[in-house]
Amino acid sequence: MSKIKLILLGLLLGIGGCVEAQILCKEFVYEPHSFPSCHASTIACLQNGDLVTAFFGGSYEGSPDVCIWVCRKTTGSDHWTEPVMAADGVINDTLRKACYNPVLYQMPDGELWLFFKIGSCVADWSGWQTRSSDNGVTWSPREPLPDGFLGPIKNKPELIGNRLLCPSSTESDGWKIHFETYDLDTHRWHKTSDIEAELAPSLQEPGKVTPIGAIQPSIIRLADGTLQVLCRTQNGKLATSYSHDNGESWSRVELTNVPNNCSGTDAVTVTPTLHALVYNPVQSELGDYRDPRTPLDVATSMDGIYWNKLVTLDHEPGSEFSYPAVVVDPRDSTLHITYTWKRQRIVYAHVKP
């Protein structure tokens, strides 16, 4: 076989590591701003081609001054707008709490929804949202979600018919995932019970077997219509669950063979037979946040089970590159990705899968 054919075969099989030319663009979303720390970005590719990203920023995660900030990159522009505050955590004249984990989603009518949480800690979270009718330029006053609903906890919802399926989770009584659905016709919310989980070895208590603790699911659609989620865990690997009825019910949560360092991930379906995952490909040793959050890679899969590395977005020993968000551009099937850079900035990357 000729050398050229061997190279082409290697690329098709995912052999030989990453191909840097697949990163079409990589840049900071904003210059240093009034807030020294930021985290948990989200991104939306709008119907007109504009990009909008949101994240929380303030003194440090959990500080009462942490707000939700938004930046935009309009079609044809080569730069992002300055961060604009879309929401804060002011409760009343004497009480203010931190904002967390924004999630952007453009509804079929073009209105841009921004979900987020407010709380003094994760156990204190309440779900909120604000809306924009001008592609993210201005935002409505925040409004609470119904009592007990948090909305999409980190990753984007999936529109199925007239139902917005929001992947969610809680952490107050162990890590558990569930799903919250908004009906576009009735404007009512519905929530599933916590999804049952298989047993797995505990990294925190060697020799003990406990239910898999999973949070922050992201949804992909398989070629046969099955919905699959990939979840962050404290078990050293990503977890997964499947739905064969459009999210009404889900299989028991089980571990995959994909390494996870107890850090957030995101996944998206590019085509019915191609899916993309952005994650830290690190096998967790501790099962908690102290595990390294570098490198940050993009991987692809045809079936949601076997994942092959596509490209490394960032890597530096001892640093943090984490909490990615990824969406597909419907015009050319490229990936728009944002992620945390050392807890100091948000990076945008445009990747061709």
Residues 276-289: what's their mean pLDDT?
Answer: 93
Q: Say which CATH architecture domain 22-351 belongs to.
A: 6 Propeller (2.120)
- Flag whether pLDDT at 219 surpasses 50: yes
Cα–Cα distance for residue pair 60/115, rounded to 1 Å: 20
**Per-residue confidence (pLDDT) for residue 224, from 0 to 100:** 97
pLDDT for the residue numbered 285: 87
Tokens 């990936």 sit on residue: 335
CB 142 within 8 A of CB 128: yes
- Does residue 7 have a pLDDT over 60? no
Is pLDDT of 158 > 80?
A: yes
3-class DSSP state of 135: coil
* pLDDT tens by residue, 8-22: 434 433 333 334 449
Return the pLDDT at 13.
36
**pTM for this model (two decimals):** 0.93
For residues 339 and 323, the answer to whether their CB atoms sit within 8 Å is yes
Rounded distance, CA 193 to CA 234, Å?
A: 21
Cβ neighbour number for residue 227 with a 10 Å cutoff: 24
- Per domain, the residue ranges of the chain are 22-351
Question: How big, in percent rounded to 5, are the helix, strand and coil portions of the chain?
Answer: 5, 50, 50
Instruction: Catalogue the long-range contacts made by 180-186 (C-beta closer than 8 Å, 24 or more residues apart).
Output: 180/149, 180/150, 180/151, 180/152, 181/247, 182/157, 184/107, 184/108
